[in-house]
Amino acid sequence: MKVLHLGFEDPRMPGAGGGSVRTHEINRRLAAQGFRITVLTTRYPGWQERVEDGVHYVPIGIGSGKNRLTRLVAYVVRLPLEVRKRRSAAELVVEDFFAPFSTMAAPLWTKRPTIGVVQWLHARDKARQYKLPLHWIERLGVRKYRRLISVSQGIAARLKQLNPDVQVDVIGNGVDPGIWNTQPHLGEDVLFLGRLEYGHKGLDLLLEAWAIACEQVEGNLLIAGTGPDEERLRTSIQQAGLSDRVRMLGWLSGDKKFQALSHARLLVVPSRHETFGLVAIDALAAGTPVIAFDIPCLKEIVPPGTGWIVEAFDVKALGEEIARRYSQAGLAHVAEQGRKFAAGYNWDALAGMQARTYHSALADLNELPTRQQPVRHVERS
């Protein structure tokens, strides 16, 4: 099958999120099965058109893409034109949802069977942040779809609220295979790993919680990642008087990322919202228990026995939980249970599920009239 994937974010871009990781891990496996895949992404400093693992990446936009706003605007402006140039060679178009409004309602203008992959569905939060009706764009776009792939059951339920007639296949994310080469190590430090974005990732909540917990634990808080709020975070750490107890590690990938995950005592995920929480499942695979807020998508991947769920956005409860679990006996058993659970999130199996969904969607989207479809949960293996 020839696929034109509207991927938005290039996995090579510094600070790229888990969505671009999923896009590449699935696509490279589909390419190995014979799929011919072109991914259109934003430009960024140092961008280049390339074929990587059999997947053709084409950064589009204007200029070098020096900042988030110019990358976004140039991508939105150029995307319909670039799709028009390439759609004659595509049998299926795949749109990755992206911030800040989720979808460009691609089925309206691609002129090809189109399916959406929903790894981001937080336009309402962005609407509050920017005081713009971004959630109405999201709602309109979702209603233009007949077939969608969601990475979690929580997001699938929200999609059905927005569009009761859409068919949603739930296909989660996988564990980075390199993590299985690590050995769990009961370290001293508490880790946050992810995009440095205040509102979405809950960095403000994390610092407040750490101020409560740090006097009761021996290790430091390690913050790994880059993002738009890095300088703001550094300033907040200084203002809170936490400079001696917080270390910034910068962007980690490959073996450095695996080592950070496997050597942490705990991973904290203080996000206000997530569509999946890839870092949490990676941590479980590395043998590191997870503490997260009680939000729908994170509850799915941090089951009892692998970590702990705290009342959403309760900073005091989060700080107390970090201190309590840090010194808890039996963390090695929790780590073992987490690894067993994470083993079910296998990229090869998930790519096979996505291939079957693509073939099914292509057949269904070429049929008329439109039929109402239920949510279908594709079991992880």
pLDDT for 371: 42
Q: What's the CA gap between 113 and 363, in Å, rounded? A: 9
Tell me: the pLDDT tens digits for 171-219? Answer: 999 998 889 999 888 899 999 999 999 888 999 999 999 999 999 999 9
DSSP H/E element including 38:
strand 36-42
Q: What is the dihedral of CA 87, 152, 10, 256, to 10 degrees?
A: -160
Indicate the pairing of strand 307-310 with strand 147-150: unpaired
Q: What is the pTM of this model?
A: 0.84
Handedness of CA 80, 85, 88, 89 (dihedral sign): negative
Q: How far apart are CA 197 and CA 227, in angstroms?
A: 6
Q: How far is CA 246 from CA 71, 181, 214, 216, 270, in A?
A: 31, 28, 9, 14, 16
Interatomic CA distance for residues 364 and 372, integer angstroms: 11
Q: Measured at the alpha carbon of residue 212, what is the angle toward residues 248 and 314, in degrees to the nearest 5?
A: 100
| 357 in Cβ contact with 148 (< 8 Å) | no
DSSP letter string over 254-296? Answer: HHHHHHHHHH-SEEEE--S--SS-HHHHHHHHTT--EEEE--H
Q: Show the tokens assigned to 339.
A: 């690894």
**Dist. CA 16–CA 59, nearest whole Å:** 14
> Tokens representing 54?
């059999």
Query: For the chain, which residues score pLDDT lower than 50?
Result: 368, 370-373, 379, 381
CA-CA distance, 188 to 220, in Å (whole number)? 7
List of domains in the chain: 2-174+347-377 (3.40.50.2000), 177-342 (3.40.50.2000)
Whole-angstrom distance, CA of residue 25 vs CA of residue 172: 12
Residue 171 to residue 176: CA distance in whole angstroms: 16
The predicted structure's pLDDT at residue 8: 96
Q: d(Cα 381, Cα 376) in Å, to the nearest integer?
A: 16
CA-CA distance, 4 to 109, in Å (whole number)? 14
Reading the block at residue 166, the tokens are 């859409």
Distance (Å, whole) CA 267 – CA 281: 10
pLDDT at 124: 93
Measured distance CA(281)–CA(300) in Å, rounded: 10
Lookup result for tokens 């799915």: 300
The pLDDT tens digits of the residues spanning 12-47 come to: 998 788 889 999 999 999 999 999 999 999 999 999
CA–CA separation, 76 vs 308, rounded Å? 40
